[in-house]
Structure 1
Amino acid sequence: MIPWERVGDTVTTKVDRQESAVLRTVVQQIDEMLKDRQAEAPQDELAELTGIRTGPTTAPDDPILSRLLPDFHRLDNEDADKQDRDSAAALRSLHEPELLDLKTGVAGVLLDTCPPGGGVVELSLEQADAWLSALNDVRLALGTTLGVSEDMPDQLPDDDPRAPHLGIYHWLTWMQESLVAALTGADG
């Protein structure tokens, strides 16, 4: 992949077949997880009548989904009172459907604009923002899986099963930084 470049209201890069395949695969995996979570939303008559959707009242059990869909009202301890727990549940139920729509929407933009066989990627500024969000979601998911922290080395031993995935994480980080630099006009 070459660094992103901005000309006017368009940003472009070129990805090869392998880069496109990796990017599309990881975004599709996250998109499927998010859509599965959407399918878990409770169905109720009031939502059907009013169009106001509600989501689950509890955080996902999956650590990746939990990272992508954080609590809207964080409970500081397990001894939180009923009012705090009810508030957290209500906020999740009200806001999670919209957050899921946003996340699956940006994944869709990336999948629609990333050529399956590789090639030139040309994005409007709005599409570039969607790419940034989708890349961030993939990095959060992959970072959660790998246990990425400030203490983690940049490279892992070859026999560490996380090593190839850490390389993808670093590549996605570079791609995101390059896109930000192109959008802001910063020197890469």
Structure 2
Amino acid sequence: MQKWKRVETDGGPRFRSALALHEAALLRSLVSSIVGMLDARESASAPDELEQIAGIKTGNTTPPEDATTRRLLPDFYRFGDRGEGSEVDDSEIDTAGLNAALRSLHEPGIIDAKRGAAQQVLDTVPEQGGRFELTEDQANAWIAAVNDIRLALGTMLRIGPDGPDELPAGHPLIGQLSVYQWLTVLQEYLVVALMKRSRR
């Protein structure tokens, strides 16, 4: 992967890079896996009366069972989130009921946004590798989609604030950690390119 290059044009900034054939294929496969997980989660939601009557799309009320999907679609409220000094005691809040209501209302939109970002990557990554160019909106979609892949891989690898930065030789997940680190670099360089201002 080449470092991202920001180019100012009359139509706005463009972000250019290049991927090797195997990198492009890997990225497409990973993004497609995320889309598959989101599709499966969405299809697990039974039609709601409100959706049938008013046309308002609702989602699941319970969190995902598998840890990876749960990392992509976490609870909206966790015990203790209000912080110290809050006038409302957490023990007075029906956390499960609150999360169920919030999830039902907002999860469909979150899934749509994540799937939309993933589709932007699939639409712009060069199938055979090589050079390519993104608009600012596409670059932001790439950052979001790559972050979702990193969250999924990070859950599998149990990556927390302290790593792991490396695994012992022969570890069965050493390949996944290398992919995670590659995605981290790809995302970081694109964020840096987005933050740069034109020197003209």
So what's the TM-score if we normalise by structure 2? 0.86
**Structure 1 CA distance for aligned equivalents of residues 137 and 34 of structure 2:** 21
**Structure 1 CA distance for aligned equivalents of residues 70 and 92 of structure 2:** 22
1:17 to 14, 21, 39: 21
Stretch deviating more after TM superposition (80-89 or 106-115):
80-89
Q: In the alignment, is the contact (CA less than 8 A) between 1:75 and 1:88 conserved in 2?
A: no
Post-superposition shift, 1:45? 4.1
Counterpart of 2:97 in structure 1 is 86
Counterpart of 1:166 in structure 2 is 177
Q: How many residues align?
A: 184
Post-superposition shift, 1:42? 2.0
Secondary structure class of the residue paired with 1:71: coil
CA distances 1:137-180 after superposition (whole Å, capped 9, x unpaired): 00000000011123334221221011111010000000000000
**Amino acid aligned to 1:175:** L
**Structure 2 CA distance for aligned equivalents of residues 148 and 85 of structure 1:** 27
2:147 to 122, 130, 136: 136
**Structure 2 CA distance for aligned equivalents of residues 75 and 42 of structure 1:** 28
Secondary structure class of the residue paired with 1:100: helix
Counterpart of 1:177 in structure 2 is 188
1:109 to 110, 120, 125: 120
Post-superposition shift, 1:117? 1.0
So what's the TM-score if we normalise by structure 1? 0.92
CA distances 1:93-135 after superposition (whole Å, capped 9, x unpaired): 0000000000111000001100111011211000000000000
Q: In the alignment, is the contact (CA less than 8 A) between 1:20 and 1:117 conserved in 2?
A: yes
Stretch deviating more after TM superposition (4-13 or 133-142):
4-13
**Structure 2 CA distance for aligned equivalents of residues 121 and 143 of structure 1:** 27
Post-superposition shift, 1:87? 1.5
Indicate whether 1:40 and 2:44 are aligned. Answer: yes
Indicate whether 1:58 and 2:69 are aligned. Answer: no
Post-superposition shift, 1:46? 2.8
Secondary structure class of the residue paired with 1:161: coil
Counterpart of 2:31 in structure 1 is 27
1:156 to 167, 175, 187: 167
| Alpha-carbon distance change, 61 to 119 in structure 1, aligned in 2, over 3 angstroms | same
**Structure 2 CA distance for aligned equivalents of residues 119 and 46 of structure 1:** 48
Structure 2, unmatched stretches of 5+, are: 81-89
- Identity, in percent, stands at 46
Structure 1, unmatched stretches of 5+, are: none
